[in-house]
Amino acid sequence: MTTRSVVIGIFATAILAIATPIGDFWIRGTWLASCHLPVGVLMIFVFLQLVVNPLLHRIGTPLAHSELVTIYGMTLISAGISSLGFAAYFIPIIIAPTYYQSPENEWNITFFHHVPDWFAPLDTKTARLFFEGTPSQTFWVPWEYWIKPIAAWSVFALGLFLAMTCVCVLLRRQWIERERLGFPLVQLPIEMLGAENQNRVIPAFFRSPVVWIGIALPAIIHTWNGLQFHFPTLPRIPLSYSLSQYLTDKPWNGIRMLVAIIYFSAIGFVYLLPTDLAFSLWFFYLWYLLVAVVMTQFGLPLGQLIYVTHEFAAYQMAGGFLFFTLVILWRARRHLANTIRLALHPSGPQIPNLSDPTTSSTQLANEPMSPRAAWLGLLIGIGTMTTWSVIAGVSFIVSFTVSCWIALGLPRILEFAFV
């Protein structure tokens, strides 16, 4: 890590944070950051390798592999924050009750008096502008109603990100050296970088004709379909086909939404996943459809369709997430016990741990963050989220439980599946 790489990483992150909402909500084109394999992050990484580095090679010192990895890591971690990783959910959710309140539902009488003025914008005009847009040829944001909620939720977000970072530090050696996780999103950049000692401006990866054929196929198709979006007279190359039109009779109508899609990046991404994980994603999706069909046959309620998932499945996923978090803690119990021991006695005797050789005192002391600092950061992060929620009106038990649940379980989900 160098000063140059950090500065470039911050600059690239800022560009991506600005471009992502513009692309998602204004241009309504390709999602730059809110997918399993962030296109915007890869574009920046490829641009640095094929444009910036050749120029630096002529006039100075090109970016080293470690610098490129630093930049990639910074942009990858921060990419989703301005999209479906945080902002695209949290902003609409906090203002939706204000917009959808009506004399019929009486939300303003039922629970609005429980909502602090810093929690969400409660001005109806602000909510209408957010969902319906500003008048044509004007761009106006009533910041006086947004500053407090954004500042307040930023405190919660910082606590969450701090807790997740510390969890990753505490469990890094457990995941990498003991469980040997694959980290799919780093496999492609590693292949792009190639060997460190190559004396070539362009890495070997980009000199392969097969690579450019693979890039050209989806690039040409998506470029053509993008032009068709702006020029409707052009024919469109279909990449999806709705199967729901054939599922109109009971019990098959319980599936409600089934679309076959040729998703090029998903095809490439799944190739990088462990076989058992890829099979599980495919198998349990079909199992979920089968359960919906069976429930429809017996007249059981499926609930609302939330995004593309039935309500009953959303509750199942929440339960699975809770169980998955408990499994993570159980599998890492010895490792975590050793990190606690070293955090409490950092200068104590260096005792080897025969039951868990990946967590000796010497090895843990060489982590990016000391065990004491990591545990302290985790407690501060969880404490921040808990305190914030209690001030907002949530009970302490619920606040603490949910904060621990999210902070401990979410990092592993994001690392292992990226879905």
**Number of domains within the chain:** 2
Torsion of CA 278, 283, 288, 290, to 10 degrees: 160
pLDDT tens digit sequence for 189-217: 888 887 665 567 788 888 889 989 998 99
pLDDT band at 370 (very low <50, low <70, confident <90, very high): confident
Cβ-contact 111, 52 below 8 angstroms: no
Do 215 and 282 lie in a common domain? no
Closest CA to 285 of 258, 265, 306: 258
Instruction: Identify the pLDDT of residue 378.
Output: 93
Cβ-contact 38, 186 below 8 angstroms: no
Q: DSSP secondary structure string, 25-74?
A: III--S-SSSSSS-HHHHHHHHHIIIIIHHHHHHHSPPPPHHHHHHHHHH
| 5: Cβ contacts below 8 Å, ≥ 6 apart | 63, 66, 67, 68, 70, 71
Q: For residue 368, count other CB atoms closer than 10 A to its CB.
A: 10
Look at residue 253 and tell me if it is in a domain: yes
Mean pLDDT of the chain: 84
Look at residue 24 and tell me if it is in a domain: yes
Instruction: Identify the pLDDT of residue 281.
Output: 84
Do 222 and 310 lie in a common domain? no
Cβ-contact 75, 32 below 8 angstroms: no
Do 73 and 197 lie in a common domain? yes
Of 200, 230, 260, the last residue of a domain is 230
pTM of the shown model: 0.81
Residue 126 belongs to what domain range?
3-230
| Amino acid in position 228 | Q
Do 284 and 390 lie in a common domain? yes
What 384-392 contacts at long range (C-beta under 8 Å, 24+ apart), as own/partner pairs, is 384/155, 384/156, 384/158, 384/159, 384/162, 385/156, 385/159, 385/160, 385/163, 388/152, 388/155, 388/156, 388/159, 389/156, 391/116, 392/116, 392/119
pLDDT tens digit sequence for 262-292: 888 888 888 888 888 888 888 988 998 999 8
The residue-averaged pLDDT of 389-413 equals: 88
pLDDT band at 354 (very low <50, low <70, confident <90, very high): very low
Do 63 and 146 lie in a common domain? yes
pLDDT tens digit sequence for 152-195: 999 999 999 999 999 988 888 888 888 777 777 788 888 888 76
Of 230, 260, 287, the last residue of a domain is 230
Of 230, 250, 269, the last residue of a domain is 230
Do 211 and 358 lie in a common domain? no
Instruction: Identify the pLDDT of residue 199.
Output: 61
The residue-averaged pLDDT of 29-55 equals: 84
Give 414 or 161, the one with higher predicted confidence: 161
Do 316 and 268 lie in a common domain? yes
Look at residue 235 and tell me if it is in a domain: no
Do 327 and 395 lie in a common domain? yes
